[in-house]
Amino acid sequence: MTLLPQEIIRHKRDGGTLDPAHIEHFIEGLTGGRVTEGQAASFAMAIFFRGLSVPERVALTRAMMNSGTVLTWDLPGPVLDKHSTGGVGDTVSLALGPAVAACGGYVPMISGRGLGHTGGTLDKFDSIPGYVTQPDIDTFRRVTREVGCAIIGQTADLAPADKRLYAIRDVTATVESIDLITASILSKKLAAGLQGLVMDVKFGSGAFMDNAGDARKLAESLVLVANGAGLPTSALLTDMNESLASAAGNAVEMIYAVEYLTGRRREERFHTVTVELSAEMLLLGKLAASIEDAREKIEHAIASGKAAEVFQRMVTALGGPADFLEKHRTHLQAAPVVRAVHAERTGIVQKVAARAIGVAVVALGGGRTRPQDPIDHAVGLTELAAIGETVDASRPLAIVHARSEAAAEAAARAVRAAYTIGDGKAAPGPAILERIGATA
């Protein structure tokens, strides 16, 4: 078979297996402009319908990784990261990165902006005045080396082929392919020069994968391909049938993270997921002898305030206020309209349409309906009631933070519609359903 783009597409369209050389040549052409958008769309559609074998997925991931700069590190500890498939109130990265750094790991975390109904870690950090979310590579390296953790956005140098292919997939109905999702996520992580990666693969009403079976397939693909590409990786399947934190928004989640790190608030489900993901990272980086030892180290890093100290140093090193931990509410924008949303009847929360909670935050201005839309960092929802809680005149479903009365009223309607209230006892499922290791 020749290396012409159309012949590579034809071969995959007809169910053939692509050699690594075919995939590398196609991705080089995509990056260099020899492959057209139409050909890239056809390539993605052929993969969508025909699928890729594990060796093909590894080859595609490596080719996209090598399409730009691949970072290397010379540090006295392991280079580790965590990636979440996205959810509502997923504030974990804000606490996890500093906690792992406090235990001796180095966390160069390249995060994304909000996608659809899910919040973006980068948007949360953009709420901090002065914090530079897209520094140059030299600054990224320096902060990671000196602080142990740097949470930033993807630069143009890392995996540019992924950026181009994703933009094409986004408008050609090929986003949901597990093969393409796997290569997209891992190409960026491999380009960051990691030595260990933990995947937080979410399932439920607020996740992109609404059932555990689909989430498990994605997790297994990510673990197999990452390890096949030389990056030690494990995954946890975590529940997203309600907001993970009781806050959803940008500044409000930043406040939540600071209160968590400083010990003012420790919600059980959020804490469990944060500790377990962090502990997996310590195990991969050989910074703990067992999962029990890893949990103890992370618990100590958080309880002692060491993780909070790392967080403050990172904020300062990337341009944010030196007194952010102490005066975060002063530095963060606050919405002018704050009101409680009460249920229409007293009862117990039976179920939450978590995606609808995320959409309500987007509608308030806390997310984007178009890529060019600005973000209103002040708006969001706090004190979200959890499954199993009793809501009544003294316990609202949530507190809305809005720019106007009209926006607050619309959000209140959306929140009420998202909650199912009943009289019987209810309990959420386990925060973590399953661990998928390298042998999966």
What residues are annotated to the active site?
Answer: 81-84, 121, 169, 184, 188-189
Q: What is the DSSP letter of 244?
A: S
Nearest CA among 337, 318, 417 for reference residue 376: 337
Q: How far is CA 364 from CA 322, 403, 409, 437, in A?
A: 30, 8, 10, 39
- CA separation for the pair 84, 64 (Å, rounded): 20
Write out the two tokens for 193: 């020069």
Token match 């950090």: residue?
A: 125
Burial class of residue 328, CB neighbours in 10 A (0-12, 13-18, 19+): buried
**Inter-axis angle of helices 324-331 and 306-317, nearest 10:** 60
Helix or strand run (H / E) with residue 33:
none
- CA separation for the pair 238, 190 (Å, rounded): 23
Burial class of residue 438, CB neighbours in 10 A (0-12, 13-18, 19+): middle
Distance of CA 292 to the CA centre of its chain: 25
Q: How far is CA 57 from CA 47, 83, 186, 226, in A?
A: 10, 18, 10, 10
Write out the two tokens for 255: 């406040």
Q: With b meaning 16 or more CB within 10 Å and e meaning fewer, what string describes 405-430?
A: eebbebbbebbeebbebeeeebebee
- Report whether 384 contacts 356 (CB < 8 A): no
Write out the two tokens for 49: 């319908």
Token match 């050909």: residue?
A: 39
Nearest CA among 54, 100, 156 for reference residue 284: 100
Paired residues of 175 in beta bridges: none
- Which long-range contacts (C-beta less than 8 Å, at least 24 apart) are formed by 70-73? 70/190, 70/191, 70/193, 71/108, 71/137, 71/141, 71/158, 71/191, 71/192, 71/193, 72/193, 73/106, 73/108, 73/141, 73/144, 73/193
